[in-house]
Amino acid sequence: MAKKELDRERINRTEFTSSESVSRRTFLKGSFGALVGASLAKDIAEKVSAAEAKKSRVVLMRDAAYFKDRKVDVAVARKMVDRLICALTGKSSVSDAWRVLFSPKEKIAIKVNCLFPPVTTNPATVQAMVESMASAGLDPTRMIIFDRSDGDLQKCGFKLNHSSKGAKCYGTKEYVYPSNVRGVETKISKILADEVDALINVPVLKHHGISGITASLKNHLGTVPNAGAFHPENCSRLADLNALDPIRKKTRLIILDGARAQYDRGPSFSPTFMWNYSGMMASTDTIAIDSIATKEILAKRHEMGKSGPIRPPIRHVELAEKMGLGTSDPAQIELLEIKG
């Protein structure tokens, strides 16, 4: 035993065994120190836990089996959705995970992206989501899959459904909630504004020639009747649009469908720049997930020899963060990567 340790041991023995009983003063001194130490340790632990809890979690999972031979494997998609939602919520069971985010009493909208196929939301992926939610006791008849129009949905392989069986699926027929978005007069899909309690945003992973990227924030140009009015200034008004109550307050979850992705010349389909990303992401923070989406597109661009940042600049994500809609700060994002 080292001399310093022996001296410390002697001091302890002297303090507590020099008499038959420990003095009240010595006892209180030792107890107070122990209590202060324990209290301090607890306080630090609680502060660390609180700081960790404030981080925005993004879960990313890629599996080569998810998208191959030009189609989504529904069984693989279902396993991925289950694992994503459990990792996102920290729950071990799929049922508990979904119940963290939604109540069986709620009506849920699922906003897909059907513009410029084939880099669009896949019906099989949404089917896997609906099946996963149903397994948790969430009623599919209380769900509405929607986008701008019936034609857009059908063009991407979605089957319209107005019946009382299964999840409904149809385009917006009416717009409500008139709003002035930094000088642009617009309205919101009645489906989102009036017919549901919560929203799952299911965007894609794609470059965009005006806004830089299209992911969760930009998916809401399919929620308004005048998307073109939001194009000026690199679509910067997307930040203000996403701050409107029907979008901001009802968004509970984002599941990005990255079966196919496109790293340049978007949003129109360009096969030269498309690649099979074969992955998904999930988060409750729209800025955090768009930030990770940006990094994935940027990494692919660099891999393919396109140096420098994404062009044009991604102004809408930066502005949305300043408006308090989420975070892009790497120090405040907890990225969990799951291997398929």
SS3 162: coil
User: To the nearest whole percent, how much of the chain has pLDDT over 90?
Assistant: 84
Q: Cβ distance 99 to 136 under 8 Å?
A: yes
What angle (nearest 5°) sits at the alpha carbon of residue 237, between those of residues 232 and 243? 170
Place of tokens 């392989």: 157
Q: What is the pLDDT of residues 150-198, one digit of tens each?
A: 999 999 999 999 999 999 999 999 999 999 999 999 999 999 999 999 9
Whole-number pLDDT of residue 80:
98
* Average pLDDT of the segment spanning 200-217: 98
Quick one: fold of 57-339? Rossmann fold (3.40.50)
pTM of the model: 0.85
Q: Cβ distance 199 to 108 under 8 Å?
A: yes
* Average pLDDT of the segment spanning 237-249: 98
- Give me the residue spans of the domains in the chain: 23-54, 57-339
Q: Where is 59: in which H helix or E strand?
A: strand 56-62
Q: How many CA atoms lie within 13 A of 288 on its CB side?
A: 25
The token pair at 284 is 């409750």
What DSSP string describes 258-271?
Answer: EEEEE-SS-SS--G
What's at 119, amino acid-wise?
V
Q: Cβ distance 189 to 113 under 8 Å?
A: no
Does residue 83 carry a pLDDT above 80?
A: yes
Average pLDDT of every residue of the chain:
89
* Average pLDDT of the segment spanning 302-328: 97
Q: Whats the size of the chain, residue-wise? A: 340
The token pair at 220 is 């809401």
Q: What is the pLDDT of residues 27-74, one digit of tens each?
A: 334 444 444 344 444 443 444 344 446 899 999 999 999 999 999 999
Whole-number pLDDT of residue 32:
40
Whole-number pLDDT of residue 53:
60
Whole-number pLDDT of residue 54:
82
